Structure 1
């Protein structure tokens, strides 16, 4: 059993911290900007809550962060009440936020100055993956730091992989989002085409999902897309945040991402329709408006 702090109890962080407590058996202290969320977590899982990130991280062996963006991450780590103010030498900071590779390298340098290990460890699998403890975790870290932390991360993961040096986890998550954007757009167009052609979408998907066209998105989203239901899942606001990070990184490294840029614009169209909090599969709604 390790002493663990978890900072950020959103739709992903809340169940992830719960798995660390219940499945991992760790001594977990949580912090959330909205104190009521921390209280709800303690009521459900036990453990403790703290009034600041710094207090949550005091004496912890492992500190997890899962917040909204680069600025939020800097606030809870390097800010005046951030975890790096109190983390002990030899502890490990594990960031599950989807953020930029630049902030990952920045935090790695800041942690190393204090004798603290750092892993950028963004996740994939959505809310269902977090709740079921089957997330995919993409890590950027030094080998020894990763090996120490992996058994703890395993509490909420089905797959944990070391992708390279600090920053590599975030770069891998960017590729993940590039691929999802293209797949969802293709699925949306396929369903739209099939409906216009008068085909039974359930029968179509039952067949083509067993071949080369099959994907997680097809298996898990085609029914709700066909029914026009989008009030769940990974919100477009968050996807556009992620794709913004991707496109910014591409401008730096020279990668050409025409499809990703186009799908990002399409998500902007759905936002203009009022779909900011709709699931990313709502690209179909844009075609059917």
Structure 2
């Protein structure tokens, strides 16, 4: 399976497709903004397609990473219509589990494999080929596609049937929301208490309070820098998906709902494109 196609060259898809090219895959890329495709082709070996149909025709594996459920549905339907039997469609977008199940059924009707495979690790993880991939879908499809996903990931794991990858990503975002809010409150508390927060973070990051957010965002938060990847607008999209799923399965996500509203406050202050650590800005008058 050396002939692959990548649909969507955003902050994640651009480097992910690049890793595939660098590792010897025959890559065709498509993006609605042709400037991104042209720029990608200047840096990597691969072909530019002007339509989704042209991009996916003849591909063994089609990977996609776009915006939201509507984008996924629109792009996937066009792709599935033109994909060959026994090929595989992998959706790396963070979307709803219900949509993943619908696409799985559509692919099955065309004798195409499907995997919902949202990623975690942010822009840096994509650029460094160190993403974590949570996968839903059939075991045999997963095993066939695994070598491709391992090119840009440090860990790829099948969780269960179609939709399971998206449910796992919801859990991931639920955890992040609470951790970032806790870190923001701790830094706010330390500043008000007159502590040297850099020294405190150095100490507590060696103990039970340690987290990826603390290691990678505490210093930038203290400097008021919020231009590091995953944006508040996208986080709110992800939390909305998680909260909708919670209403369906009867789970209680009180903290998640609260933090979602805190992110709404950040948006109202013009911080929709700030990264998710910008929760601290709410606590600074």
Same fold by TM-score greater than 0.5: yes
Q: Helix, strand or coil for the counterpart of 1:60?
A: coil
Give the structure-2-normalised TM-score.
0.99
Matches within 5 A, 1:143-158: 143-158=139-154
Q: What corresponds to 1:93 in structure 2?
A: 89
CA deviation after TM superposition for structure 1 residue 231, in Å? 2.5
Matches within 5 A, 1:59-208: 59-78=58-77, 82-208=78-204
**Unpaired runs of 5+ in structure 1?**
none
CA deviation after TM superposition for structure 1 residue 232, in Å? 2.9
Q: What corresponds to 2:16 in structure 1?
A: 16
Counterpart selection for 2:210 from 210, 214, 239: 214
Give the structure-1-normalised TM-score.
0.98
CA deviation after TM superposition for structure 1 residue 247, in Å? 0.3
CA deviation after TM superposition for structure 1 residue 233, in Å? 1.7
Q: Helix, strand or coil for the counterpart of 1:183?
A: helix
CA deviation after TM superposition for structure 1 residue 227, in Å? 0.8
Q: What are the Cα deviations for residues 154-195 of structure 1, in whole angstroms up to 9, with x where unaligned? A: 010000000000000000000000000000000000000001
Q: What corresponds to 2:25 in structure 1?
A: 26
Q: What corresponds to 1:42 in structure 2?
A: 41
Q: What corresponds to 1:259 in structure 2?
A: 255
**Unpaired runs of 5+ in structure 2?**
none
Q: Distance in 1 between matches of 2:245 and 2:237?
A: 13
Q: Helix, strand or coil for the counterpart of 2:151?
A: helix
Q: What corresponds to 1:232 in structure 2?
A: 228
How many residues matched?
Answer: 285
CA deviation after TM superposition for structure 1 residue 54, in Å? 1.4
Q: Which runs of 4+ in 1 moved over 6 A?
A: none
Q: Helix, strand or coil for the counterpart of 1:5?
A: strand
Q: Distance in 2 between matches of 1:231 and 1:137?
A: 24
CA deviation after TM superposition for structure 1 residue 46, in Å? 1.6
RMSD: 0.7
CA deviation after TM superposition for structure 1 residue 94, in Å? 0.3
